[in-house]
Amino acid sequence: MAIAATAAVVFAGVSLGLAFTMGGKSKTLTRTGCMVAPFPPLNDHSFNQAVFDGLTDAGTTWGVSVRNRVTDPPSETAAKENLEAFAKQRCGLVVSVGQFMAPTTADVARRYPDVKFLTTDDPKNRRLENLASVKFEVDQAAFLAGYLAAGTTRTGKVATFGGMPTSTVDPFLRGFAAGVLRYNVEHATNVELVGWDLPTQTGLYVTGDTSDLGVFEDSRRAAALTDHLIKSGADVIMPVDGPGGAVGAGNAARASRKPVLLIGVDADQFYSTPQFSDLWLTSVLKVYRRMVYFAMGEEVLGRFEPGRISGTLANGGVELAPFHQLRTRVPARLRNEIRKLERHIQDGSISLDPASYV
């Protein structure tokens, strides 16, 4: 006998009940979930793998058939061809990975109005009846990371930087800054923040060229900037610079004679870059797996709606990773404070704007 359970999901800004049918599978509910990744490999320990896992979780719950295409070598033309191939196969839901695939996905969605599509990290709210988009409210979890950094620094200086100024990078930096400043207000301290300029509302970036997509794979440039921050006195640093930023920051921290801790982003870097497992204090997670699972469930159960799907602390779409090997660096008092802050963020009673704490 099938067992019914209910979970909450914020869909297009509205809290809905999502019914999950566990165990038994109905032929009438069978759908195909198809994903197109813009870059190889599929098992990248990051976005590609998480989206695939979300669809396979849906397969376990509802008997969804899962297909994937990885665009290799990467190109916009090839990605479009992969999306169109799945549209022609009448997939129940076609999922594209990452903000840079969003415009192409929208173009294909217009051509195939009877097929449902899901984008991730699309900075635009594209109003198509067959297109939904996951938007991760990463500033919520980054706020907690900033507070954590301020509470664990031993030099009194923490830092963050981004690969480039984009709508998916800046919320990390802004949330981190707000968390650091909130800690200073709560504890009457003066932890110095590097990486977010309050007067101009801009961050510290590896490059200001938003067309330089290679920056997110360039560990050398990330290492140079991290080394500069370490020499300036920062001992807790959050690189928001893709896989290259994680590796580059890890290399710089490892080479430094000073004790430095890192905070990862997107995926749990303790697992994604295990060669630096002893350096990752935590990571600010975008839980693609959970949100893709939710979206696929809505399609299976006939409740697909276009628009935004918000990933928040409340619905598990964003969160802090465990402290793993560095749990002893985080006092119980600080852990309790972070849990309380998380509840306040969920009920909207705390500001995530750095300017609120100046």
To the question of domain 138-286+323-357 being in CATH 3.40.50.2300, the answer is yes
Segment holding 58, helix H or strand E: helix 47-62
Helices (H) and strands (E) in the chain, counts: 10, 16
CB-count burial class (<10 Å; 0-12, 13-18, 19+) for 324: middle
**Cα(345)–Cα(143) distance, rounded to whole angstroms?**
9
pLDDT at residue number 3 = 35
Cα–Cα dist 66/30, whole Å? 11
For the chain, domain boundaries: 3-136+287-311, 138-286+323-357
Tell me, what's the pLDDT at 124?
85
At 23 the pLDDT is 36
d(CA 94, CA 323): 35
- Name the superfamily (CATH) of residues 3-136+287-311: Response regulator (3.40.50.2300)
Rounded CA-CA distance 341/140 in Å is 10
**Are 3-136+287-311 and 138-286+323-357 equal in CATH topology?**
yes
CB count within 10 Å of CB 26 equals: 11
State the pLDDT at residue 26: 40
Q: Residues 117, 269, 211, CA angle at the centre, nearest 5°?
A: 55
Which segments of the chain have a pLDDT < 70? 1-30
pLDDT 10s digits, 51-69: 999 999 999 999 999 999 9
